Amino acid sequence: TADATGPKHLNVKITRAKLESLVEDMVKATLEPLRIALKDADLSVSEIDDVILVGGQTRMPLVQATVAEFFGKQARKDVNPDEAVAMGAAIQGAVLS
């Protein structure tokens, strides 16, 4: 952020617990799109073999724990998420072409 006098910087330290308390509601809100996606795909949680988390915030332990609780399994860490996204996009592109 900046104003007429120049940039403004906020330099604060917060604990992991404080950060998690700040984002907890947002993390919980992501479960509804998961439910909708499963319903749209006509799948149940038990039919999901593997979970791959993609994106910066998915590295948060709170996000990982929430997803693990929802699916009943830990997300895979042996898959490169960027490569998984690229492969999925390539497959979808082929389907659409």
Spans of all domains in the chain: 13-96
Looking at every residue in the chain, the average pLDDT score rounds to 95
Architecture of the domain delimited by 13-96: 2-Layer Sandwich (3.30)
pTM of the predicted protein model: 0.80
Q: 32-72 pLDDT, tens per residue?
A: 999 999 999 999 999 999 999 999 899 999 999 999 999 99
How many separate helices (H) and strands (E) can be counted in the chain? 4, 2
Cα gap 94→56, rounded to integer Å: 27
What pLDDT sits at residue 66? 97
What pLDDT sits at residue 56? 87
Encoded amino acid at 66, one letter? T
Encoding tokens for residue 27?
A: 């993390």
pLDDT above 70 covers a percentage of the chain that reads: 100
Q: What's the pLDDT band for 1 if we cut at 50, 70, 90? A: confident
Run of H or E including 93: helix 81-96
